[in-house]
Structure 1
């Protein structure tokens, strides 16, 4: 199972997850009161926003700092020379108080008047500031007004308004669905989290746009003196140009993943699709073999955490490999962004967000979508769940009232109670780290993690608590998500089901150990339509790794085992 550090928040070799938790956990602990915008600093320190009359003409003079910082720029003040430097992206601009001289990216230019300081605000011409920031904006009523189609500027402004907890401005910029979720309490909570992180000496260093079938995503990267790594904000816009969701994390390096040798891309086509409808619709990719259909098809169901459609972890893209490998063998494949990836805030803000909402409901919608595609054999659709996706498979099959799924493939799926699995996972990690001679500091850290999870398990199993009587404090994120499934035992639920299954496990998997694989075999020993296979040296990401897997290898480029791709394809095609 993919590590539960997203919910646990313990130290990790992937700091991105720690930051995700820090911000997400804040949503569970409401702030006491709404925070006000940052106060203006005195003239003797750093020139600040002050106040200025509405301005729309390029020749109008406007406050440099408040506008520049609202759009993500870093503003630096040198008191001795009275120099103000504005940095945004790759652009650097310098001006001096009481001078009509400016330098824009090293080139000198003249201003139509001297830069002046009024009421603590550095005033510059509007047209010049537009050029310096690379944004065509208006300034009216002390509000920055970007062009309607300039989503990059709108995204930067949204981050600034969220950081300062300005709920009225956020409301105007957001979809109704996001506004319903982003209550004043949550806006204040996010402000309390972001102000210390991005509040001072922050630079919007780069940005890019990524399109999918549901959102236009602006990815903003910030550099700040507060933390030693870049912060990545993803602001998701609806097709109408309103902010529909957002997330913050540590920026990660591009994946080292390389296509697998069995992925014959000339043997299939791919197209962007939409799964579901309404405020939580998901973008996806349908991979279809070339040739005459209809073809059998699989729905790929994610492991834990906010996975993308490729189920990208470090140097692995588990679902991209499976999609390409299976389609190359004549099987259509549907994969999609997980709801906690595409709609992270709206999903997390739900008071009773459960395993079903996170993993199950979308799997059924995906199967329903496939049934309507002409290239797909509607009677041969298979659920294929990895890790948590396989763990949830019996729940999904139980609620599959239309019998959309003909069978299920479980890949590295836990068979027992989730909290027991997590403790087992941490104990196995400690054993492997010790065996591979890791530094004492890392071993001590892991020993602390084992002790912590055991204590959490005691609280989790306390009969005084339930999904209807939640503890006031619970260290793994949303207590409802955990307690709602406290009695869920996937192998026991599958025991009473009749849908044919293929259960596969890696023998080098520390996250879902072979004890879980044996749990499936024991629970389902009286069923005659379940097949089992395990693979030597295969880790949790379904890749062959010849050394003892500890998770430290996940950053390396890897591919799903060719044997697993072959066996899944043959099983699907013969059932």
Structure 2
């Protein structure tokens, strides 16, 4: 099927003017909606990851957080800021910047709710890697989300940043909505999803953990599972979304 044509929009996050891309099915709605959190890369329109959701009748919004992609002129790039920090305070800075980027995610969600063709009672969030971290952090807030899907959150940072481990464990223990955690066997590190799933189980919070067989041959290929392998994860993800947003 032909990829949907995105519409670029500008939305406020505090004093910043951030960019994002709306991918919309044909029709007037109201549609279910999904906010897609990109990783640490400089994103583009997000066509590939948005298309499966549009095909299922969802509006998909891909906001670009400060310093990244089309919002590059609104702040310094997060990886540059982390790299400038002394090793003794790098972990704390890493978490601090994730909290700052969370403001952009919350602002993007507010923008999404204002779209006349979006059903504000049926909005969920998905993200991978850094975007998975953002998605997990969103679960502890009362944002009007119905569920969150996190692909490989913190898989490349978990072992190096104990401060992040503590922050994400705190987030899931305080979760207010269902969480679906997904990774593949050959990702960089399975500890984040497994640890968070155990914490969710301890506090009896609704969640599901899915570990798929290896995708590709390298850690990098496995880490790209959430973008490149909808034919494998699609049924599980949409079953989860339909269960939280009937």
What TM-score, normalized to structure 2? 0.77
Distance in 2 (CA, whole Å) between partners of 1:515 and 1:343 is: 32
Cα offsets for 1:393-431 (capped at 9, x unmatched) = 343333x44x3322111111138xx85424xxxxxxxxx
Q: Which residue of the other structure, out of 21, 24, 29, is the alignment partner of 1:285? A: 21
1:362 is displaced (CA, Å) by 1.3
Q: Which residue of the other structure, out of 138, 150, 171, is the alignment partner of 1:410? A: 150
Q: Which residue of the other structure, out of 194, 199, 220, is the alignment partner of 1:523? A: 199
Secondary structure of 1:503 counterpart: strand
Distance 1:295 1:488, change over 3 A: same
Secondary structure of 2:210 counterpart: strand
Q: Which residue of the other structure, out of 137, 149, 155, is the alignment partner of 1:395? A: 137
Secondary structure of 2:139 counterpart: helix
Distance in 1 (CA, whole Å) between partners of 2:132 and 2:61 is: 16
Distance in 2 (CA, whole Å) between partners of 1:285 and 1:412 is: 23
Secondary structure of 1:389 counterpart: helix
Cα offsets for 1:491-519 (capped at 9, x unmatched) = 33211323111111112212xx2222221
Q: Which residue of the other structure, out of 363, 366, 380, is the alignment partner of 2:108? A: 366
Question: CA RMSD for the aligned pairs?
Answer: 3.2
CA contact (8 A) 1:331 1:569 kept: no
1:330 match:
57
2:7 match:
271
Cα offsets for 1:32-55 (capped at 9, x unmatched) = xxxxxxxxxxxxxxxxxxxxxxxx
Distance in 2 (CA, whole Å) between partners of 1:419 and 1:535 is: 21
1:343 is displaced (CA, Å) by 4.6
Distance in 1 (CA, whole Å) between partners of 2:172 and 2:126 is: 15
Does residue 508 (structure 1) correspond to residue 177 (structure 2)? The answer is no
Name the structure where helix makes up a greater proportion of residues: 2
Distance in 2 (CA, whole Å) between partners of 1:420 and 1:574 is: 30
CA contact (8 A) 1:322 1:560 kept: no
1:379 is displaced (CA, Å) by 0.8
Cα offsets for 1:143-171 (capped at 9, x unmatched) = xxxxxxxxxxxxxxxxxxxxxxxxxxxxx
Secondary structure of 1:369 counterpart: helix
Q: Which residue of the other structure, out of 295, 308, 314, is the alignment partner of 2:43? A: 308
- Which one scores higher on RCO, CA 8 angstroms, separation ≥ 6? 2
1:297 is displaced (CA, Å) by 0.8
1:470 match:
none
Distance 1:363 1:278, change over 3 A: closer
1:347 match:
75
Q: How many residues align?
A: 225
Does residue 356 (structure 1) correspond to residue 91 (structure 2)? The answer is no
Distance 1:410 1:491, change over 3 A: same
What TM-score, normalized to structure 1? 0.35
2:238 match:
569
Distance in 1 (CA, whole Å) between partners of 2:116 and 2:125 is: 19
1:551 is displaced (CA, Å) by 3.3
Distance in 2 (CA, whole Å) between partners of 1:287 and 1:554 is: 24
CA contact (8 A) 2:133 2:153 kept: yes
CA contact (8 A) 1:360 1:395 kept: yes
1:291 is displaced (CA, Å) by 3.8
Distance in 1 (CA, whole Å) between partners of 2:166 and 2:196 is: 14
Distance in 2 (CA, whole Å) between partners of 1:487 and 1:519 is: 9
1:392 is displaced (CA, Å) by 3.0
CA contact (8 A) 1:301 1:384 kept: yes
Aligned structure 1 segments of 4 or more residues deviating by more than 3 angstroms = 342-346, 349-353, 485-488, 550-555
1:386 match:
128
- Where does the alignment leave 5 or more consecutive residues of structure 1 unmatched? 1-263, 311-318, 423-456, 462-484, 539-544
Distance in 2 (CA, whole Å) between partners of 1:302 and 1:554 is: 13
